[in-house]
Amino acid sequence: MGCPPRLARLTRTQSLFAVHLVAVLFGATGVLGELITADPAFITWGRAAFAVLALGLFGRLLLTQPHLSVLGHGRWMALLGSGAILALHWVTFFISVKVGGIAIATLGFASFPAFITLIEWGLLREKVTRAEWVRLWLVSLGLLLITPSFELSNLGTEGLLWGLLSGASFGVLAVLNRRYLTEVNAFAVAGLQNAVVFLVMSPWVLGSLGHISLTNWLWVAVLGVLCTGLAHLLFVSSLRHLPARSAGLVVALEPIYAIAFAWWFFSQEPSPRTLLGAAVIILTILSASLALQKAR
């Protein structure tokens, strides 16, 4: 497989700061999705395009070895499939933001650990512990609490359903990455998956690029460079000093930042019931991360 590339060296303190910044950047994704007054297909396409440029630039600046080792692993089908699923994940997330708001979209997406559990149990026949089933039911309870109405005509409910589809597709993506792409450099996988997203979305976008305002281009550039390229770089770099599960524990705070941003910038004040549901989901995710960390 060859040695993994060496990223810019960070101290443990810098790594902790970096992973917290990753959570903030991920939380800001919904804010940018709200700010960009273009359709989700363009947002997804533009995000991928700028992320590929950013990851390529960061790779040249910070990697001392070639990072396209994925070419020698015979993983092309998994790479293409995961790239297509990533496109689905982003499109459905941004539809959720547009329809239901930032908080609903982010909390719907935050259900992805439950989908991972269901996929691993139902399709891969992996053993699921009693504690994992309890967390799955708690996430479901949290989702019921944040559901504005049980009528599909309600925009908040529709937004939540799109958010759940975003979480489900991310769960599939996580399982694919774990089963088929773990031996490939994560930085290379991110760049190539974004390239697949760019190619997959191009037929739906290229004809309308002339109607995109300069402001939207700028916000999409921020989304691709900072919230995708830089965020991924910081996350991978932080793993030199932090266990993956510890880093994941911090990144699980993303919904808190997203809700705070939505409240601050767009006055999208969550109801007490939504806050209760958010607390149930976030605490369940954090407890799962803590349990994994203790099991090491």
116-175 tens-digit pLDDT? 888 888 777 778 788 888 888 888 888 888 888 777 778 889 999 999 999 999 989 888
Does any domain span residue 18?
Answer: yes
Is residue 68 domain-resident? yes
Q: Hey, is 1 helix, strand or coil?
A: coil
Q: Which residue has the tokens 């692993």?
A: 73
Instruction: Identify the residue whose tokens are 């549901």.
Output: 277
Give the separation between CA 33 and CA 202, rounded to whole angstroms. 19
pLDDT (0 to 100) of residue 1 = 38
Nearest to 114 by CA among 167, 166, 163: 167
Does residue 230 contact residue 59 with C-beta atoms inside 8 Å? no
Full-model pTM:
0.84
Q: What was the pLDDT predicted at 74? A: 59
pLDDT tens across 237-248, in order?
Answer: 776 666 655 666
Residue length of the chain? 296
In the DSSP assignment, the letter for residue 69 is G
Q: Is residue 166 within 8 Å of 19, Cβ to Cβ?
A: no
Please give the structure tokens belonging to residue 233.
Answer: 């770089």
Q: In this structure, is residue 274 part of a structural domain? A: yes
* Burial bucket for residue 39 (CB in 10 Å: 0-12, 13-18, 19+): middle
Domain assignment present for 210: yes
The Cα 170–Cα 161 span in angstroms is 14
How many structural domains are present in the chain?
1
| 88 vs 10, more confident | 88
H helix intervals, the chain: 12-35, 40-62, 76-100, 102-109, 112-122, 130-146, 155-180, 186-205, 214-224, 231-238, 244-251, 254-266, 272-294
The two structure tokens encoding residue 187: 């930085």
Give the chain's mean pLDDT: 82
Opening angle at CA 7, ends 296 and 76, nearest 5: 80
| Domain ranges, residue 248 | 12-294
Among the residue ranges 152-156, 188-192, 285-289, the one predicted with the least confidence is: 285-289
Cβ neighbours for 206, distance < 8 A, ≥ 6 positions apart: none
> Does residue 116 belong to any structural domain of this protein?
yes
Backbone angles phi, psi at 150, to 5 degrees: -100, 20
Assess if residue 28 is contained within a domain: yes
Which pLDDT band, with edges at 50, 70 and 90, does 4 fall under?
very low
Asked if residue 1 belongs to a domain, the reply is: no
Q: Name the DSSP class of 74.
A: T
123 against 273, higher pLDDT: 273
Instruction: Flag whether 181 is in a domain.
Output: yes
pLDDT confidence bin for 66, thresholds 50/70/90: very low
d(CA 268, CA 204): 30
